[in-house]
Amino acid sequence: MTDVEHWIWLVLAFSPGSPKPCRLAEVLGGAKAVYQADEKALAASGICTAHDLELLRPHGLEKAQRIVEHCLARGYDICTLADASYPARLKEIHAPPAVLYVMGRLPTDDTLCVAMVGARHVTDYGAAAAERLAMGLAHVGVGVVSGMAAGVDTHAHKGALKGGGKTYAVLGCGLDTVYPSSNRELHRLIAKNGAVLSEYPPDAGPDRHHFPVRNRIIAGLSAGTVVVEAGRKSGSLITAGQALEMGRDVFAVPGSIFSPMSEGTNQLLREGAKPACGVVDILEEYPAMVAQTLSVEQAAPAQQSFSQMAGHAAEHPGKAAAAAADRPPEPQASPKRPVAGLDDVQRAVYALMDGSPRHVDELAVRANLPPAQVLAVLTVLEIQGLVRSEPGRRFCSV
């Protein structure tokens, strides 16, 4: 038996989001010490109620062992609060997750991360804002954190991938579940270029109450949280509130006074959130961290566009990088030309595209492929800048 199993056992005894597993481990000297402690020692900690003692009384590690074996078989990593790879910023919050299940690599402590959240039923304006901001942040080495939900989350992750950077998806379910299922290819790409992570065991489903609980992890991993588009009762406002409680920055993208989907963000602005009208507005709050990120990531492709700005960047690294990030992306290759790097299936789907939006099902019929496979191909083509998504699962070339 390993200490990892004791951590999992301890977390399973309490509800997700509870601060007690970490507090008990801190007071008693680790998860294994909690496991070995008798009822008298647990009661003396001053943390456990009588109900908590009932929860901790079962002492079998069999379920924890099965979870570890499942993770090993699937290639998932397990990161506990005691591990050196556990994000330092996340340790600072009120109820840090004692166990994280991870596909990919967690951000290092010297990585500047910014959360980006918003409405699931996003407008064209919100989608474009999320992608543009995330692309610019990723372009200068900032990690973009979101929840891989439909809407703003999805566009934030796609924007970060288009910017050639790292992005981190915090799930409200276990790693075995892709939710929404339409993000299966995006799920794979995020794990390859950042991490997909969850505090829930791998087989946990996307229960509704999981999502507000996981929001504290999105805010906790990040120096600041950007709310792109949100209605008056949007769940993303919960994330913004948690960020404020943690002493982190909150940004909001201004929206039309006539749009219900901007009522939440405009309210945040009235309450003192900083307007995020461009990447500069975000990065100028973290000049030292941006300078450090740029020095660490010198070999990254994103740095090539800053070579002509080296002199100015030395004096004002945050603003110089931000100004470059705010520039419009370079025009993509014409869709009428052959595109290198595509496999046979990707070329076949791409050949069916033109400037008119076409539904996934139509493309699947024309390509004689399953819709799920076509959607995965379109996700890759979109991140490569070859196609653009439109509302209603329709796509066109750019």
Q: What is the CATH number of the domain that holds 361?
A: 1.10.10.10
- Predicted pLDDT at 338: 62
- Predicted pLDDT at 244: 96
Say whether pLDDT at 327 is over 90.
Answer: no
Query: From the DSSP assignment, how many helices (H) and strands (E) are in the chain?
Result: 20, 12
Mean of pLDDT values over 162-178: 97
Domain boundary among 305, 330, 355: 330
Contact 218, 198 (CB under 8 A): no
| Residue 337 covered by a domain | no
Say whether pLDDT at 283 is over 90.
Answer: yes
Residues 105 and 190 grouped into a single domain: yes
Mean of pLDDT values over 331-346: 65
- Predicted pLDDT at 219: 98
- Predicted pLDDT at 393: 83
Residues 272 and 126 grouped into a single domain: yes
The pLDDT tens digits of the residues spanning 100-131 come to: 999 999 999 999 999 999 999 999 999 999 99
User: Which pLDDT band, with edges at 50, 70 and 90, does 390 fall under?
Assistant: confident
User: Which pLDDT band, with edges at 50, 70 and 90, does 290 fall under?
Assistant: confident
Beta strands in the chain (DSSP E): 77-80, 99-104, 113-117, 143-146, 167-170, 194-198, 224-227, 249-252, 274-275, 358-359, 387-390, 394-397
Residues 169 and 187 grouped into a single domain: yes
- Predicted pLDDT at 100: 98
Residues 102 and 223 grouped into a single domain: yes
Distance CA 181, CA 92 (A): 33
Count how many domains the chain has: 3
Distance CA 210, CA 190 (A): 21
Residues 236 and 153 grouped into a single domain: yes
Say whether pLDDT at 170 is over 90.
Answer: yes
The percentage of residues in the chain with a pLDDT greater than 90, rounded to a whole number, is 74
- Predicted pLDDT at 324: 44
- Predicted pLDDT at 303: 32
Residues 65 and 84 grouped into a single domain: no
Mean model confidence pLDDT for the chain: 87
- Predicted pLDDT at 292: 65
In terms of Cα–Cα distance, which of 77, 107, 76, 105 is closest to 89? 107
Report the CATH number at residue 170.
Answer: 3.40.50.450
Residues 107 and 11 grouped into a single domain: no
Residues 268 and 183 grouped into a single domain: yes
> What is the domain extent for residue 385?
344-397
- Predicted pLDDT at 293: 61
Say whether pLDDT at 78 is over 50.
Answer: yes
- Predicted pLDDT at 287: 86
